Structure 1
Amino acid sequence: MLEGFPRNDGRKGIRNHLVVAYLVECAHHVAREIVHPYRDDGAQVIGFPGCFPNDYAQKMMERLCTHPNVGAVLLVSLGCESFNRFALEQTIEASGRPVKTVVIQHSGGTRAAIATGREWVCGQLRDMAGAKKVPMDVSELVVGTVCGGSDGTSGLTGNPAVGLAFDRLVDAGAACIFEETGELIGCEGIMSARARTPELAAALTAAVEKAATYYATLGFGSFAAGNAEGGLSSIEEKSMGAYAKSGSSVISGLIKPGDIPPRGGLYLMDVVPDGDVRFGFPNITDNAEIVEMVASGAHLTLFVTARGSVVGSAIAPVIKVCANPQTYANMSEDMDVNAGRILSGTPLAEVGQEIFDLTLEVAGGCPTVSETLGHTEFILTYKSFEPIGPACLPA
């Protein structure tokens, strides 16, 4: 039995972070300086750099600041940005979390705002140190998965091993989220065949077709030079490897960033914006995808990498699964799981079980490698989405 931090909405957190959130890039430095003395005590920086309002960013920040792994929030505003800080503060307050807003223009400038922020953060961290945990079941977990820096080993080792772990988690009642529709091109037929209903199958197919159109318009697909250097020949081959991390469970729904799965099961996240191409590439970095899954309630993320990635994420732990044995030998201090040993005879099922077991250990409080190293990457930019339709979450 796991233990988690209880929240007013009934969810439970596997971490208890204090978040300092900047609401425009102009406030980023102040937010970073507020956190600096407390970065080893559970304080983390997140934020939205844009000044022009954006419904997607507003929803994302509301979801992130009320994530079950978050126990208190300090908002840092310059004062003249268009982000609706009042609505965000009200949402956080309604969730039962302590919240304060520091407005730099009203506080006397940089030094004064930093001092005010640090005083509040110090007091809140002291109060949060006494937070009590309650029993938590595996079925209450939300787990995401991404893959980045893929090569020819990704679809043979790391991704299918995560797929087996996902199957175990879904069987235990957890909600599991896989993504990136731009890396499922060519797999829409076999993926849709796993949908719970014909209507959901059509929605899954439409999401992948939207991604293909979006990238065709941009003239640049989700296939990088590093993928080719690693032995992948095409987006279809890359897609087959990426698809493997979804496992074999029935697909229960289709969600978009910030949509929280209503129950356990397997969900595809559509990360490609709706409407005309307006905001550039939909997945700037792997970190952006992780943030979107965290905004949908993911307690932690399974990150498969073959070429090698060092990142973690703010708010929710990242477990890095290394697909390539040579990369693991070179970067073992940044990896949690060596899935590359499958190529030398270790059974796939054994590594899948290891990932499942480690997921529960991390949910129980064990730090990941990226947490130990202090990685708390975060990125949030402009996007635009329409609400999901009734076919996306069949009863």
Structure 2
Amino acid sequence: MKTHGIGTMRGYLRSDGRKGIRNVVAVGYLVECAHHVAREIAIPFREHDVHVIGFPGCYPNDYADRMMERLCTHPNVGAVLLVSLGCESFNKYALERAVRATGRPVKTIVIQAAGGTRKSIDEGRAFIAEQRALLDAAPTVPMDVSELVIGTVCGGSDGTSGITGNPAAGRAFDQFVEEGAACIFEETGELIGCEHIMAARAATPELGVELEASVAKAARYYATLGYGSFAAGNADGGLSTIEEKSMGAYAKSGASPITGLIKPGDIPPRGGLYLLDVVPDGEVRFGFPNINDNAEIAELIACGSHAVLFVTGRGSVVGSAISPVVKICANPETYRRMEDDMDVDAGRILEGKAGLAEVGLEIHDLVVSLGAGARTKSEQLGHQEFILTYKSFEPIGPACLPAA
């Protein structure tokens, strides 16, 4: 598939062979009590690819450990600063060792040992200034589209999302899969009613069973909670039921065969189309699976996504730390109101000004351009939203990656 007027992709080569399209310094706080210090450390560098991520909880959680390790060793990350209060349960030195093992520079600041807020901030800023200078001089290597991992999510959905934005994202996914890239769609709680259609697209019958089971799990989880993944804003935007919302959300997966089923932190082993199961395993313990769109984005990035396609009908302004977020606006009226935040006007389809194939190619080419140095609207505006909560997952089974 040829791109149109796009420069050659280049990446930052990591020790595991993956390449990043960004060279970010990640500042990770390991408990909410360290969040302010981490944010203050990063503020002078906010326009220089220094991004704050973190886990707010004081009590241990295997999911949080796994997420933070995956994020700190993401191909878009070149160096890491960990900020600890000192008495939280997070195993900071295990995370530091995991990052160091990849060859990335890493430093841990323990606020209680460093002497408090000001001393910790000064120490952290000195480390970042040093690392940022080194990363800015780092060489790049050629990068192929087949080396990309791309996620997709929809939020602020309305009646136009399933007609324009989501299917256009699906067309882009089909192009990327054809080129050998890995594409990840989610979430199982917004695919209720589409499980049998998905199963028919599975690479093997056994994978089809796993896909259906993941959606059934989500339905049980939401039934226990007493509500589903259907917000008041969805209804105000013209959606009537979770099944109607599901049909629109499902459209962003495109039409390629489904290669595998993964969970947060699982990295696709090869190109193809993957479903990300974001609903925790076991009994309902921690409440709503994803309390907002940024939780889903973080999980897609933890699976290695270099960039995330975000489809919205009613409008959203969020971006993310670590990986660029491409805003695809499904509603032409919303696009005209919020053009400064939107990258793609998929609402042109509704007005007869463009076709699905044309907008799908536009999305595809925009993602490729990110690997040639282009920046999304959310990056230009400084959006670096991030949230991480408590969850619990069991490992995926052998049927989930049948080609492995």
State the TM bucket, normalised to the shorter chain: over 0.9
Q: Which residue of 1 aligns with 2:51?
A: 44
Which amino acid in the other structure matches residue 283 of structure 1? N
Counterpart position of 1:193:
200
Partner residue of 1:331?
338
Provide the rounded CA distance (Å) in 2 between the counterparts of 1:129 and 1:222.
42
Matched residues in 2 for 1:263 and 1:338: separation?
A: 31
The answer to whether 1:375 aligns with 2:383 is yes
Distance 1:307 1:344 in 2: 17
Secondary structure in 1 aligned to 2:154?
strand
Describe the SS at the equivalent of 1:204.
Answer: helix
C-alpha displacement at 1:127, in angstroms?
1.1
CA distance in 1, matches of 2:60, 2:41: 25
The Cα shift of 1:363 comes to 2.3
- SS class of match (2:238): coil
Match of 1:19 in 2: 26
Report how many aligned residue pairs link the two structures: 395
Instruction: Tell me whether 1:85 sits opposite 2:88 in the alignment.
Output: no
Within 2, Cα distance between the matches of 1:392 and 1:109? 47
Distance 2:371 2:205 in 1: 34
Aligned to 1:211: 218
Work out which of the residue numbers 331, 352, 360 in structure 2 matches 1:352: 360
Q: Counterpart of 1:222 in structure 2: which amino acid? A: S
Q: Which residue is 1:124 aligned to?
A: 131
Within-5 A mapping of 1:115-264: 115-264=122-271
Q: Secondary structure at the match of 2:326?
A: strand
Structure 1, residues 226-248: CA drift from partner, whole Å, max 9, x if none?
A: 11111111000000000000000
Structure 2 CA distance, aligned partners of 1:208 and 1:323? 25
User: What is residue 372 of structure 2 aligned with on the other side?
Assistant: 364
- Letter matched to residue 174 of structure 1: A
Aligned to 1:113: 120
Query: 1: CA distance between counterparts of 2:380 and 2:334?
Result: 20
How far residue 2 of structure 1 moved from its aligned partner, in angstroms, is 1.5
User: What is the SS of the residue equivalent to 2:349?
Assistant: helix
Q: Distance in 2 between matches of 1:41 and 1:323?
A: 31
Q: What corresponds to 2:350 in structure 1?
A: 343
Percent identity among equivalent residues?
Answer: 73
User: Structure 2 unaligned runs (5+)?
Assistant: 1-7
How much is the aligned-residue C-alpha RMSD, in angstroms?
Answer: 0.5
Q: What secondary structure, in the 3-state scheme, does the structure 2 residue paired with 1:100 have? A: strand
1:36-90 superposed Cα distances (whole Å, 9 cap, x missing partner): 1111111110000001010000000000000000000000000000000011000
- Which residue does the alignment assign to 2:293? 286
C-alpha deviations, 1:156-197, integer Å up to 9, x for none? 000000000000000000000000000000000111100000
- More moved, 119-128 vs 317-326: 119-128
Query: What amino acid sits opposite 2:263 in the alignment?
Result: K
**Hey, what's the Cα distance between the residues in 2 that align with 1:123 and 1:347?**
48
Residue 390 of structure 1 aligns with which residue?
A: 398
Distance 1:2 1:367 in 2: 13
AA matched with 1:362:
L
List, as ranges, runs of 4+ consecutive aligned residues in structure 1 with deviation greater than 3 Å. none
How do residues 268-307 of structure 1 correspond to structure 2 at under 5 angstroms?
268-307=275-314
Alignment of 1:100 with 2:100, yes or no, is no
Normalised to the residue count of structure 2, the TM-score between the two structures is: 0.97
What amino acid maps onto 1:162 in structure 2?
A
| Cα distance in 1, alignment partners of residues 240 and 39 from structure 2 | 42
CA distance in 1, matches of 2:114, 2:346: 51
TM-score (norm 1): 0.99
